[in-house]
Amino acid sequence: MNKFLACGVLFMIAILGWLFWPTNAVPILAYHQVGEVDEEIYSVTASQFEEQMKYLKENGYHAISLEDLFNSYTGKTVLPEKPIVITFDDGYADNYLTALPIMEQYGMSATVFVVPSLIGTTDYLSWQQVVYMQERHTEIGSHTMSHVGMNEINAAEQRREAAESKVALERNIGTPIQFFAYPYGQFSPGAQQIVKETGYRGACSGLAGLNDAKTDSYALKRINMPQPKYGLWEFRLRLFRAHLYSKLGL
């Protein structure tokens, strides 16, 4: 009986060890707004965001771009220890005004997926701010032309949303736009194919988990970062949950 118990305990230790053992897969965080927006689930306050960036720095994480991640798959780039990608969707002005200074303070950088038709409108980045962000090591990506869900439009419209936003961004900021994020996380095999044919190297989805060379490039997984109810513990749990998903192959 004792032998069985000992075997059971050893088995549990082995399983837990395997689950907690670090992976090479890379987390991609998904933020929207950073600021004092009341009751807005998709915004974190400046102090919450600072706490999270401080945690990442103190725990040895290094922010990388999606370009770095993809280049590492072909051996073109060697990633630092504990790489992480920090992304923002929609292109709110507070990404530049509030988040960027905090990230710089902790040696972090981000990828911002902007919507060209929203640029320069109330609460959103101006073209000048998009350029400033890029000059300060922010990777700029596309989030469609008009923030429409890809599953709500036909193939021709999907193609236009992906292609026109790429052209508009490239014309205004002068560098190739390599990555895309699906609005509302919506995608289909057809939309993935169109995004690929339009010339993007990859696209972020709303699927949860971590990413490695085997992850579908046009369904990159992210860790959603809504308004935390339980402070830094929630942030740590979200990171750990994505790690578990990755370990379990979910």
Please identify, using beta-carbon distances, which residue of 183 and 202 lies nearer to Zn ion. Answer: 183
Please identify, using beta-carbon distances, which residue of 67 and 90 lies nearer to Zn ion. Answer: 90
Copy the structure tokens of residue 223: 């860790």
Please identify, using beta-carbon distances, which residue of 149 and 199 lies nearer to Zn ion. Answer: 149
Q: Provide the minimum distance between the beta carbon of 78 and Zn ion in the complex, in angstroms, as a whole number.
A: 32
Q: Provide the minimum distance between the beta carbon of 47 and Zn ion in the complex, in angstroms, as a whole number.
A: 24
89 is an interface residue for Zn ion by CB under 5 A:
yes
Contact 228, 235 (CB under 8 A): yes
Q: Which segment (46-54, 84-92, 164-172, 185-193) binds Zn ion by CB under 5 A?
A: 84-92
Q: Which segment (4-12, 66-74, 98-106, 182-190) binds Zn ion by CB under 5 A?
A: 182-190
Please identify, using beta-carbon distances, which residue of 40 and 212 lies nearer to Zn ion. Answer: 40
Please identify, using beta-carbon distances, which residue of 129 and 142 lies nearer to Zn ion. Answer: 142
- Give a three-class secondary structure readout of 55-105: HHHHCCCEECCHHHHHHHHCCCCCCCCCEEEEEEEECEHHHHHHHHHHHHH
Q: Which residue is nearest to Zn ion (CB)?
A: 89
SS3 31: strand
Q: Provide the minimum distance between the beta carbon of 27 and Zn ion in the complex, in angstroms, as a whole number.
A: 19
Residues in 2-61 at the binding interface with Zn ion, rule: CB under 5 A: none
**181 vs 75, 149, 157, 202, 236, CA distance in Å?**
24, 11, 16, 9, 24
Contact 77, 98 (CB under 8 A): no
Strand ranges for 116-167 from DSSP E: 139-142
Selected from 50, 67, 68, 90, the binder of Zn ion by CB under 5 A is 90
Q: Provide the minimum distance between the beta carbon of 59 and Zn ion in the complex, in angstroms, as a whole number.
A: 28
Please identify, using beta-carbon distances, which residue of 138 and 246 lies nearer to Zn ion. Answer: 138
Nearest Cα residue to 85 out of 101, 107, 69: 69
Q: Which segment (34-42, 63-71, 104-112, 176-184) binds Zn ion by CB under 5 A?
A: 176-184
The count of C-alpha atoms lying within 13 angstroms of the C-alpha of 54, restricted to the half-sphere facing its C-beta, is 7
Contact 218, 187 (CB under 8 A): yes
The site for Zn ion, by CB under 5 A, has a size of: 3
Residues binding Zn ion (CB under 5 A): 89-90, 183
